[in-house]
A = this chain, B = another copy of it.
Amino acid sequence: MASPRWCFVNGKIVSVQNANINVRNLGLQRGYGVFEFIRMYGGVPFRLAEHLARLKNSARALYLSLPISAQRIERIIGFLLEKNKIGEADIRILVLAKNFDKDAKSFSSDICILLEQPHTYPQSAHTKGIKLITKEHQREFARAKTINYLSAFHDHIRRLRRGALETLYVSNGKALECTTSNFFIFRRNVLITPRRDILLGITRKFVLSLARKYFVIQERNIRLQELRGASEAFIAATNKEIMPVIKIDSLRIGNGKAGVNTKFLITLFEDAVR
């Protein structure tokens, strides 16, 4: 699939090459903005309503007013798929602070909707599992999907060097979330995942809904000491789906291979979306 050529910026359809944000925008001068990233399955944006609801919440948390409605965003996505003559793509919606509104109680914003060529990971990430490294960090405004990825991007080289796919943020002795995914462990047939101080992932929620029939679910803090007793671990995210975790720093999880429960969840996930 070629890179989609057309995108939406502030009411206009423009070519991605000419899709620009003015340098006076506070989003780029001050890193002040929120976004959503949505995957499609079978030509349909996955859980679009939930993503748009979260976008609204993220914006509200930062006093950003959304310049267009969720309904309009949905129509624009449909139009962009038509215009780009493609059936499927990843979707990025970016809302950046433009300026203070007159009342100084909120920010006007720029909005971009971009289709992107899906980023693929090696199949082995799903079958053999991946490694995580940890970092002492807690995201600001954890419930909001802000554009602040300083920590995430800064850690890129350390991940490469260590053969890790993601960084697990830990804070006050607890495992929280990864840079762009949620974190889960199994203790035998109990599935545990944090609920506080993290971004509540759409995929996280979907995985929990699939797992509920088969496992006991605990949404609660995960103490770092508990990682040693975890029989399995995995991460979940829109663009990563489910990936078993076999190592965290130097700690081997379970027997160091993708766990049976995790593999079962991957099968459930595949069946549900494809």
Contact = CB atoms under 8 A, between A and B. Distances in A.
Nearest to A97: B153
B30 A147 contact: yes
A242 to B, nearest CB: 24
Interface residues of A, number: 47
A114 B25 CA distance: 12
Contact of A62 (B24, B32, B35, B150): B150
A156 interface: yes
Nearest to A96: B28
A80 B19 CA distance: 26
Given A22-B17, A148-B148, A104 B28 contact: no
A149 B23 contact: no
Contact of A63 (B24, B147, B157): B157
- The complex is assembled from copies of this chain, and their number is 2
A70 to B, nearest CB: 20
B63 A94 contact: no
Given A94-B29, A156-B104, A22 B23 contact: no
Contact of A19 (B22, B31, B112): B22
Contact of A150 (B92, B114, B141, B151): B141
B32 A23 contact: no
B23 A114 contact: yes
A146 B156 contact: no
A148 B23 contact: no
Q: Which of A9, A137, A156 has the most CB of B within 10 A?
A: A156
**List of 7 A-B pairs having minimum Cβ-Cβ separation, nearest first:** A20-B20, A31-B31, A30-B149, A28-B28, A31-B147, A19-B23, A31-B148
Interface of A: 7, 9, 16-17, 19-33, 35, 62-63, 92, 94, 96-97, 100, 104-105, 107, 112, 114, 137, 140-141, 146-154, 156-157, 160
Given A20-B22, A29-B147, A63-B154, 20 more contacts: A9-B23, A16-B22, A17-B22, A19-B23, A23-B114, A25-B28, A26-B153, A28-B28, A30-B148, A31-B33, A31-B147, A32-B149, A32-B150, A62-B150, A63-B157, A100-B156, A107-B153, A140-B150, A140-B151, A148-B150
